[in-house]
Amino acid sequence: MSGFALTNAQVLGNDDFHRGNAVLVEQGVVAAVVPEASLPAGVPRHDLGGGWLLPGFIDVQVNGGGGALLNNTPDVDALRAMMRGHRRFGTTGMLPTLISDDAAVMAAAIAAVRQAIAEGVPGILGIHLEGPYIAPARKGTHDAGKFRVPGPDEVAMATSLDNGTTLITLAPECVPVETIRAMVANGAIVCAGHTAGDYRQTRAGLDAGITGFTHLYNAMTPLQGREPGVVGAALEDPHSWCGVIVDGVHVHPASLRVALAAKPRGKVLLVTDAMPMVGADDPSFALYGEVITAVDGVVRNAAGALAGSALDMATAVRNTVGLLGLPLAEAARMASTYPAQFLGMEDRYGHIAAGYQADFVLLDEALQVQATWIAGQRE
């Protein structure tokens, strides 16, 4: 028999965790979730020691990991290293993220992702192009010398990935609404981020097809009494998703709790914005020719701007429980179910249920990762 069953775990269902259920896996897919007593005879069983079994985490913003940065080495080897680095922390699906760069580097990164998906590199779901269509006033660690407004040829190139999902972060005040509409028409998911836009400009972007906000609160105009800004537009809009970096550094926990209170449930998702040191021994990396080092887990460039993070998804989940006071079940959904919905992949990922890909993460009582599975393959 080719299948197997995962037993003796607290399995996250659609509502909460359940004891006494077994997850039956066949050919990389969940065949059924059944009472352990109902398992057919002869099915190999893997005892999970009473741990928490969650859907595998999906991270839609991963600049680097395992010592690799996509901008520096936009190739399949870098993508494999990034997945290896993050998988040990429960990430079973990701959008490798390219920070603002030249068109040739963008094309190379897209080609690498296309090749990785074609070769079946586990966990690569698409690409996130974070810039270069963003605002100099909110550039963060991005190189403003790379910024530009895309013409039709560049829009075609940026949306050319034909076997995975493309996410584009842009500043709505810097890109014509017709261009945003063209990106969406070509199949891209578009987010607002690194933007100095006002409320009106952000609303125009939402009306043109923007459906998300990249690292809410960071690198965008704040909510104020007489000018709601990008943050106000994000919190008010009931349809869009907001990625948040829950590392205790990027955003104050109180601000995150405000976002959770304002947005409909399911519209706030965890991201890491991770850099190469996640899953690697070296705390330093080079970006745009500058060496950047994480100090006490905080990543800043020489100018003092936050330069991504050293966060992993398992820590983000623990922080969501510990800093924000959410139940583990909801924190897990913010790391798996809601990202899958945002990406339009909710029929394949984000649940432990019949018909879903067998992507799981096993946590112990301390919420540390003990094992992961991608398409039923354990690591």
**Are the beta carbons of 283 and 256 closer than 8 angstroms?**
no
Q: Measure the CA–CA gap between 274 and 62, rounded to whole angstroms.
A: 5
Maximum pairwise Cα distance, the chain: 67
DSSP one-letter code for 123: T
Residue 14's CB: how many other CB atoms inside 10 A? 10
Q: Measure the CA–CA gap between 169 and 135, rounded to whole angstroms.
A: 11
- Does the active-site annotation cover 273? yes
- Which residue is catalytic, options 101, 273, 312, 359? 273
Q: CA torsion 110→114→117→118, rounded to 10°?
A: -170
Q: What angle do CA 173, 63, 29 make, to 5 degrees?
A: 110
Q: Measure the CA–CA gap between 307 and 251, rounded to whole angstroms.
A: 14
Closest CA to 302 of 314, 323, 288: 288
The count of residues in the chain is: 379
Three-state SS across 124-153? ECEEEEECCCCCHHHCCCCCHHHCCCCCHH
DSSP one-letter code for 230: H
Closest CA to 54 of 325, 265, 318: 318
251 backbone dihedrals φ, ψ, rounded to 5°: -140, 140
Assess whether the previous peptide bond of 132 is cis (omega < 30° from 0).
Answer: yes
Inter-CA distances, 325 with 16, 36, 87, 329, 331, Å: 16, 32, 25, 12, 9
Q: Measure the CA–CA gap between 130 and 195, rounded to whole angstroms.
A: 12
Closest CA to 98 of 311, 245, 308, 315: 308
Task: Tell me which residues are annotated as active site.
Answer: 273
